[in-house]
Amino acid sequence: MNAQKDFTETSVCLPCAAAILDDGSSDIDARLAAFAQQQCKSSVRVRGLYMQRRPAASGCKADRVLVDIATGDTYLVSQPLGPGSVACNSDPQGFARASQVLRDALRQTPDLVICNRFGGLESEGGGFAAELLGIMASGIPLLTVVSPARVCAWQRFSGQASLLVADGAAWQCWLDAALNLRRLPAAR
């Protein structure tokens, strides 16, 4: 299938927000980071966060680090729980510090805000939920990632926003449409 058809089939009524379905076929975090960099190079004003995974020094799960797209500042959002732990290792304090990047983005009104994930914290009203709602309410195009397990929560949270396939061409089609819509006088 071509990307335009995939985009059209998966888009719904909220063009200013979209989530990429992480189907596990590739490193979605690296692809999202590359997409953000590509947009910056093409003069799209991008703000937000993408995720990097780094080997943990303690032998635990990989550290999760959020990277500020505009500054390169990093925020550790995982905590070491020990090599045998199977519990969630998210660090709420790390997310709280990183949330400032999204609040700043809302004030800066960029062309696009990227948020690393709509995950478990957000689906329960925590994490970046308040910041994501503010960005969506402002009409700034928002792109995030969602796992198959969180799709229903994303669609409830976002009011049935677009769900995109894991294909950069589909992301570009969505962004082009969202930016064109923002340029219309009635969209403001």
How do residues 128-171 score in pLDDT, each as one tens digit? 999 999 999 999 999 999 999 999 999 999 999 999 999 999 99
d(CA 158, CA 75): 25
From the list 18, 2, 13, 10, the residue with the least C-alpha distance to 176 is 18
Percentage of the chain surpassing pLDDT 70?
79
From the list 23, 41, 17, 45, the residue with the least C-alpha distance to 171 is 17
CA distances from 147 to 8, 71, 73, 106, 137 (A): 20, 27, 25, 25, 23
Q: Check residue 1 and give its pLDDT.
A: 38
Sketch out the chain's domains with CATH numbers: 3-47+100-183 (3.40.50)
Tell me the whole-structure pTM to 2 decimals. Answer: 0.84
d(CA 88, CA 65): 15
- The H helix count followed by the E strand count for the chain is 7, 7
Query: Residue 25 has what DSSP assignment?
Result: S
Q: Check residue 174 and give its pLDDT.
A: 96
d(CA 66, CA 92): 13
Q: Check residue 8 and give its pLDDT.
A: 35
From the list 172, 171, 148, 175, the residue with the least C-alpha distance to 25 is 148
State both tokens at 91: 């660090």
* Regions of the chain where pLDDT drops below 70: 1-15, 55-62, 79-90, 185-188
Q: Check residue 2 and give its pLDDT.
A: 42
State both tokens at 111: 């062309």
